Amino acid sequence: MDKHNTISILGVILVFLMALAVSRAVFLTVFMGGHFNDLAKDNMVKRIVLEPVRGVINDNKGKPLAMNIDYQGKTVRFYPLGEVSAAIVGYMGKMSDTDLKNCGDNCYPDSLLGKAGLEKQYQDKLNGVPGEELVEETANGNVKSTLSRTEPVNGENITTNIDSDLQKKLTTALANAYVNTGKSGIAVVAKVSGEVLSLVSLPSYDPNLFVPDGKRSDYGGTYKSVADLIKDEDKKPLFDRAISGDYAPGSVYKLTPAIAALEEGKIDKNTLINDTGEIKIGDYRFGNWYMDEYGRTEGEINVVKAIARSNDIFFYKVGEALGVDKLVSWSKRLGLGSLTGIDLPGESDGFVSTPYWREKTTGAKWFLGNTYHMSIGQGDLMATPVQINRMTAAVISGLKCSPRLVGRSTCEDVKTSEANREIILEGMKGACSKGGTAFPLFDYEGQIYCKTGTAQHGGETTQPQAWVSVVVPKGNNIKDWLVVTVLIEAGGEGSKVAAPVVAEVMPYLLSM
């Protein structure tokens, strides 16, 4: 065969092969494309999120405040104390797109997120890290094979400083006060060193309402749904008054000008001031409660009796001697007007007024009457119950400690003398002894220290805020002593309304 014929045969073969290839491609694409597409669909890779177990929140004895239970075949979050612990633990909620974006790799679209309280504060610790499994599935959802698996990292358990028995007793005592007054109640109990043993804000709610398909607590309260909670704009059960409520402190604040005047050398234990019943400046009158209620005066009194009797005239004159700048600086030194650093979200920093703020905001200059008002915890001064609790602890111990629900606190020395702190304590002992203002606590005379407060607000027709702060000694180390602060919103006199709440739980406090 010559060379020309060989080339012709090869050309024919090449054309044939090309035609075969094209026809095969057309067949596979046109006629068999649907078939291969179905085959591809038969084997899909699916990502399965492996949920971590959320950490448990316990009290200081290991009793659960927030836990995971099996309920109706599902694992759900459960709060056994319901409304009793709501101000502490908060609640969980569905994750929004913004939450998912900010949460990063530790969250996924169907997960729940801490929205308030410790659930929010310690979200990262409690939540853990989700795992994932990549599986090959058939079209009908059957797993054909596991391609890879990363195990989840479970969340950390948290042990708090909370005493759940005390929490229940204080909630009951505040609920009893609510029955009598119809007013909201707040209580904070902390060691001088900052560890918070109890924190109550009423009205409250059952956090289990926020758990999809969850179980209600035996302490569920009156609200039946999240919608009921949200629409109650009068009682505001979701508002944590203990850390977020700003209130005029009234006479519980008098401990601040007392220690300030002693430290600044404006008075000593023997300094006497005559109770005149009232002081008049032009058209303005500044009276003492004893004169206003009973038409009587105390005569000449020192700082010890002034604290025990909560004498306004004494503290007007002390405030005048100190001056507004010293009142402001000592207020801030003792923690007012700034965040306490408590490990709960949503804390308010309160407010300490100054002459500069007053003139800039209202156009009015500061005058002596403003100093008088501030000296007895009135005027523009505002504080949260947690701040008043810490202020009381700082005055009697010389230590300003950050309140903590979890872990230990950091403390700052406010640099006051032990001798002056002892004078304050002597006055506070007198307040809850016969002749003092805290008469519901007279049964514990000599065992505890008190300061009552009755703070005017909102005009003459509004009942005052009812306050009391009580110090319960525990051993020789003052850092272990307890400070109990109770506020009944617009409840009336602190001695008549707030002090009975503490009296109700005092046997337990003394036995701790």
Per DSSP (E only), the strands in 31-63 are 44-50, 57-58
Q: What angle do CA 376, 484, 255 make, to 5 degrees?
A: 25
Percent of the chain with pLDDT strictly greater than 90? 77
pLDDT at 14: 57
Q: Which residue's entry shows tokens 């043993």? A: 197
Query: Which whole number is the average pLDDT over 335-342?
Result: 98
- The strand pair at 158-159 and 57-58 is best described as parallel
Tell me how far apart the alpha carbons of residues 79 and 174 are, in angstroms, rounded to a whole number.
20
Write down the residue that tokens 């409304």 correspond to.
83
- pLDDT band at residue 35, thresholds of 50, 70 and 90? very low
State mean pLDDT over 431-459.
Answer: 95
Extract the tokens encoding 12. Answer: 């024919």
- Is 502 in contact with 468 (CB distance < 8 Å)? yes
* Sign of the C-alpha dihedral computed for residues 72, 76, 81 and 84 taken in this order: negative
Kindly indicate the confidence band of residue 146, based on its pLDDT and cuts at 50, 70 and 90. Answer: confident
pLDDT exceeds cutoff 60 at 1 = no
Output phi, psi for 37, to 5 deg: -65, -40
pLDDT at 198 over 80: yes
Average pLDDT of the residues in 164-174: 98
pLDDT at site 66: 98
Provide the pLDDT for residue 130: 87
Mention every residue, 6+ apart, whose C-beta is less than 8 A from residue 239.
Answer: 201, 245
Band of pLDDT at residue 44, cut at 50, 70 and 90: confident
231-260 confidence digits (pLDDT tens) = 999 999 999 999 999 999 999 999 999 999
Q: How confident is the model at residue 39 (pLDDT cuts 50, 70, 90)?
A: very low
pLDDT of amino acid 401: 98
pLDDT digit string, tens, across residues 481-510: 999 999 999 999 999 999 999 999 999 999
The pLDDT value given to residue 40: 46
Strands 64-71 and 57-58, by their bridges, are: antiparallel
How confident is the model at residue 428, as a pLDDT? 98
Give, rounded to a whole angstrom, the gap between the first and last alpha carbons of the chain: 116
> 34: pLDDT confidence band, cut at 50, 70 and 90?
low
Length of the chain: 512
Strand partners, 284: 281
pLDDT tens digits, one per residue of 5-31: 555 555 555 555 555 555 555 444 554
- Sign of the Cα pseudo-torsion (410, 416, 419, 424, in order): negative
Tell the burial category of 245 from Cβ atoms under 10 Å away from its Cβ (0-12, 13-18, 19+).
buried
pLDDT in tens, 92-123: 988 777 777 777 666 666 778 999 999 999 99
Contact 152, 130 (CB under 8 A): yes
The mean pLDDT value of the chain amounts to 91
Q: How confident is the model at residue 408 (pLDDT cuts 50, 70, 90)?
A: very high
Nearest CA to 424 out of 254, 232, 213, 208 is that of 254
Give the global pTM: 0.89
**Alpha-carbon distances, residue 113 vs 47, 127, 208, 380 (angstroms):** 21, 8, 14, 37
Average pLDDT over residues 340-365: 96
pLDDT value for 104 = 65
pLDDT at 177: 95
* Interior/surface letters 406-434, b for 16+ CB within 10 angstroms, e for the rest: beebebeebebeeebbebbbbbbbbbbbe
What percent of the chain clears pLDDT 70, i.e. is strictly above it?
90
The pLDDT, as a whole number, for residue 27 is 47
Residue 457: exposed, middle, or buried by beta-carbon count in 10 A (0-12, 13-18, 19+)? middle
Distance CA 216, CA 405 (A): 25
Q: What is the pLDDT of residues 358-388, one digit of tens each?
A: 999 999 999 999 999 999 999 999 999 999 9
Cα atoms in the Cβ-side hemisphere of radius 13 Å centred on 25: 6
DSSP E strands, 398-474: 399-401, 411-413, 449-455, 465-472
pLDDT of res. 36? 43
261-305 pLDDT, tens digit each? 999 999 999 999 999 999 999 989 999 999 999 999 999 999 999
Here the tokens at position 485 are 């602060």
Other CB atoms within 10 Å distance of the CB of residue 387: 29
